[in-house]
Every structure is written in C-alpha cells, then in structure tokens.
Amino acid sequence: MTPPSASEIQAGVVGLYERHPFPSIADKRAKVAREMGMRLYFLGIRPEDYVGRRVLDAGCGTGEYSCWYGSQGADVTGVDLCEASLARATEYARTRQPGRVRFEKQSVLALAFPDATFDYVYSMGVLHHTPDPYRGFRELCRVLRPGGVLVVSVYNAFSRLPHNAKQRLVWRLAGEDPDRRVAWARRLFPRTCRALERNRGDGSDVLLYDAFAIPHESRHSVGELLGWFDRNDIGYLGAFGPLTVRDNLLALRLLGHGPFGSFTGFFDGFPLASWAIATLPRVAGRPAAADPRTRAVFHRPSRLSRGLVQLVWTLLGFRFSIFSLSGRRRG
C-alpha cells in the first residue's frame, strides 16, 4: 500500500477533529488550572515568562490553554487548522472573556508570522499529528524571539507502544471508518475506554476518537527532542514528566505534601498510575520548601536517567504516553 501523502495526512487529521473537536472541555480554564501549576514548575517556567508577553498556542484545538494563558495576563494568539475547534474556542473566549485571546486558522508547518514574533510558544500534543513534526518544530523556533521560551509536548516513543498495539488491532478490524474504530475499541478494550471517559469527567467520547480513530500519529523519544533543541539553539529548561530520579522524587513529595495536590486528578481513571501517585509520596517523604512562584533549576537529563524514566513511564501506562520539554532560545 502506498503511504499517504502529506496533504492526505493533514486532511485526515483535520477532518476527524472537524467532526469531533478536541478536547472540548466545558470549563476550559478550570480544567487547565488544576494542572498548570505543577506542569510549569517542572518545566522551569515562572509567570514573568508569559504574563504580559506575546504567547502563541500552536495547534490550540478548542482553546483550553489559550484561554488559561489569557486569564493570567498574556496576549495570546491561538492557531489551528480545524474550523470547528476554532469556533468553539472563539465562542468560549467571547462568553468567558479570559483576557486578550484571539484565534486564527493557520498550520503549524507554515506560520504566517514574521521571525521572532512571540515571547512564549506553546504546542501541546500537536506536532505528532502532522506529516513533518520537525518542520513544525523549526517553525515554532523561527517565530520565537531570542530569550523567549518554547514548550513542546509529543507522544513518547516507548510508553506509547502498548496503546499503539491496541490501535493497530482496532484499525485492522474496523478499517478507515472512525465510528467503527471507536465501536471496536469499546468492545475490545472496555477498561481503557472507561478510564478515558472517567478521566475526562463528562461522559463524552471525544477522547476515544482522539485515542483510537486518529488517522496519523508519530512517536518521539526524549533524546530525539533534545537533539531538536540543540540543532535550533534552544537551551534546556525542564521537563514534564520529570526526567531525573531527583526531580521525580521532588514531584512525589510535592504531590503528597506541597501546593500541587489538585494535580492528582490528572490520573483519575487509571488505577496503576493513581495507586503510584497515592502511595509513593508517603515513601518519598516531605518536600523541602518549594515556592511555585519561582523557577526551579533543572539539569539536562543524562542518557541513563532518561532511559530509566521512560521505562517507568512505559510500565505505568497510557497516562504517561506524552511528555513535554521546555527551553529558552539563545541569542
């Protein structure tokens, strides 16, 4: 079979999200607020990196992150190719007025902005659905000013493998039809489907289309993304999930005793991950003082460290199948 062309990949992905805009959470700011404190802390980012700054949400979907950054005082531009998603994002921003937020139809592979336009560029779970993720990454770097911050999230090459095996079986049985894929996923993997729906919290099947019906995705290792950072003069700031043993111990302590307890809801519906997050903080002990308003300093992980962490992610399952890296553009 001939592999799909870049235009066919783009059309397939956009077509799915036109029919099932993602993630379409009802209260966008509240959902993101429960997670962002801990995410940004371990990404090494502080409020002054985005408050009052020009922020690009590249592949904004229905606008959850755009609206949160806008509510924090950022001047946000969200871009996406899916008109249905942009319509939902625009309506939410109009009714909830989350600050200075606008949305535009654009591709992350060819952004219509001059070089060095933005102070802060954020892309959550987007590049791995494009036909050329590295080209998209370079575009994000191009529009980022020197000294600005970049945050990129992609599927992990290793911890995504168990879910990819489920996808392949579903696709083999269901063919190209997205509705049949979701129906087969419900039959074959009811626990996974229930976990995804419970984690979302509203009974919607939007996550099932994203998980089982998406026509294209790629996977990437931490080492690969660090190589992208190096080739584009982006200095490492941090990672989520954390990529060293020390940083993971700190995360467990903060979950158990610190200011980020609400983040535990991120694991609702996933028993093994929830058990680990509930149990291990008691083993890790209480944290040293950590002020979420300040940026911690995180060291670039060694090959051994990131290998061990990615192995643990694989063992803990689906909720650890995506990771984020952050960096600052030099110059």
Residue 145 lies in a domain: yes
Residue 210 lies in a domain: no
Q: What pLDDT is recorded for position 202? A: 62
User: 129 and 278 share a domain?
Assistant: no
User: 153 and 234 share a domain?
Assistant: yes
Buried b (16+ CB within 10 A) or exposed e, 144-167: bbeebbbbbbbbbbbbbeebeebb
Question: Which tens digits make up the pLDDT trace of 130-141?
Answer: 999 999 999 999
Report how far residue 326's alpha carbon sits from residue 120's, in angstroms, rounded to the nearest whole number.
10
Question: Which tens digits make up the pLDDT trace of 254-292?
Answer: 776 667 777 777 777 677 767 776 676 555 555 544 555
Question: Which tens digits make up the pLDDT trace of 121-166?
Answer: 999 999 999 999 999 999 999 999 999 999 999 999 999 999 999 9
User: 250 and 232 share a domain?
Assistant: no
Question: Based on the structure, what is the number of domains in the chain?
Answer: 3
User: 290 and 183 share a domain?
Assistant: no
Assign 317 a pLDDT band (cuts: 50, 70, 90).
confident
For 172, phi and psi rounded to 5 degrees? -65, -40
Residue 52 lies in a domain: yes
User: 151 and 43 share a domain?
Assistant: yes
The pair of three-digit structure tokens given for residue 97, joined into one six-digit string: 């007025």
Q: Are strands 234-240 and 322-329 parallel, antiparallel or unpaired?
A: antiparallel
Q: Where are the beta strands (DSSP E) in 18-89?
A: 54-58, 75-80
User: 112 and 142 share a domain?
Assistant: yes
Q: What pLDDT is recorded for position 87? A: 96
CATH code for the domain of 145: 3.40.50.150
User: 262 and 172 share a domain?
Assistant: no
Question: Which tens digits make up the pLDDT trace of 72-118?
Answer: 999 999 999 999 999 999 998 988 877 899 999 999 999 999 999 99
User: 145 and 178 share a domain?
Assistant: no
Report how far residue 251's alpha carbon sits from residue 254's, in angstroms, rounded to the nearest whole number.
5
Residue 205 lies in a domain: no
Assign 14 a pLDDT band (cuts: 50, 70, 90).
very high
- Better pLDDT: 240 or 35: 240
Residue 209 lies in a domain: no
User: 262 and 220 share a domain?
Assistant: no
Among 200, 228, 263, give the residue marking a domain's end: 200
∠ CA 23-156-261 to the nearest 5 degrees?
60
Question: What is the helix (H) or strand (E) element at residue 200, kind and residue range?
Answer: helix 190-200
Identify any residues that bridge with 57 across adjacent strands, giving them in sequence order.
78, 122
Among 200, 225, 258, give the residue marking a domain's end: 200
Report how far residue 252's alpha carbon sits from residue 275's, in angstroms, rounded to the nearest whole number.
12
Residue 55 lies in a domain: yes
Residue 208 lies in a domain: no
Residue 49 lies in a domain: yes
How far is C-alpha 168 from the geometric centre of its chain's CA atoms?
A: 22
User: 193 and 68 share a domain?
Assistant: no
How many Å is the Cα radius of gyration of the chain? 19
Range of the domain at 118: 6-158+216-242+323-329
User: 145 and 224 share a domain?
Assistant: yes
User: 169 and 221 share a domain?
Assistant: no
Whole-prediction pTM = 0.92
Report how far residue 133's alpha carbon sits from residue 142's, in angstroms, rounded to the nearest whole number.
14
